[in-house]
Homo-oligomer: A and B are copies of this chain.
């Protein structure tokens, strides 16, 4: 049944109209069409394009255990209270949105399940055609065109692809928690530099002020290397499970939005995001073509020569590229 439904030709114009009208099933269907690289993918992309550019995209990342899902839930609630429609893309394997976490968290998220102003989608993180960098912008584009005011993209701040995806948001929140030992440590490995706003969650725990102080110190060191006007990354304390400080996070995001708009940074980021999206699609097209070669220039035949040591991977790659561009 399910595959029969998916295989059916969709009336794309009708789906887009219904998605823009707030129908969650139409939104979900459109995301499936782009995620599964259906034959109608291009028709969907063309239909969405004129409606995009409205949504404010907020990335949210942090190590496992810092309270990403609780924070996302609290932000959803805050934006809903302000009358905004909110979409959530969860690409964190440990997130309750994507089905990975404990029952308690999952129950907590269900408070949004009956709210038609909220749409939550978990993204497959593995085994996906082209991976995260391909699928996430596509789904984001659907939510944008469907008229969501806010789109939250939640990822765990550990993997390379995951951090890259979240760094392409209009504003990126990096969450930490005190007393995790590896909080700032892990963050140092790459997620600190993508932060527009730091959130120290679980701020009622011992060590919260130390974490805040360390972050502020680090930020002040980073600023010395900057030339020209730069955004001063704020550090906000929250206890997301009780809603404390969530208003401050919303205010910090709004201030960042204002700053990026005034300095041309918002436009710049969106161009970077679209570039990444175009590049990922182009590379997927090229990968498909390279995978279709047969005979001695087939990828597998070349790989076999590399395994035997009779050629090296650069010479083999030249063969592939040469075949592609002639």
List chain A positions with a Cβ less than 8 A from chain B. 41-42, 45-46, 48-53, 63-64, 93-94, 98, 100-102, 125-127, 131-132, 137, 141, 156, 158-163, 181-182, 185-186, 188-190, 267, 270-275, 277-279, 281-283, 285-287, 290, 299-300, 302-304, 306-318, 320-321, 324-325
Contacting pair B189 A321 (CB below 8 A): no
In the assembled complex, 14 residue pairs joining A and B whose CB atoms fall closer than 8 Å, in A order, are: A46-B315, A64-B158, A158-B162, A271-B303, A273-B303, A274-B306, A274-B316, A275-B303, A278-B317, A279-B287, A279-B299, A279-B317, A283-B283, A283-B286
Contacting pair A314 B281 (CB below 8 A): yes
Contacting pair A287 B278 (CB below 8 A): no
A5 and B94 alpha carbons, distance in the complex (Å): 44
Contacting pair B132 A52 (CB below 8 A): no
Known pairs A94-B158, A101-B182, A278-B303; list 20 more (Cβ under 8 Å).
A45-B312, A45-B314, A46-B315, A49-B310, A49-B311, A50-B309, A93-B158, A93-B190, A94-B186, A100-B186, A102-B182, A156-B159, A158-B159, A271-B307, A274-B307, A275-B300, A277-B303, A277-B313, A278-B320, A282-B320
Contacting pair B132 A309 (CB below 8 A): no
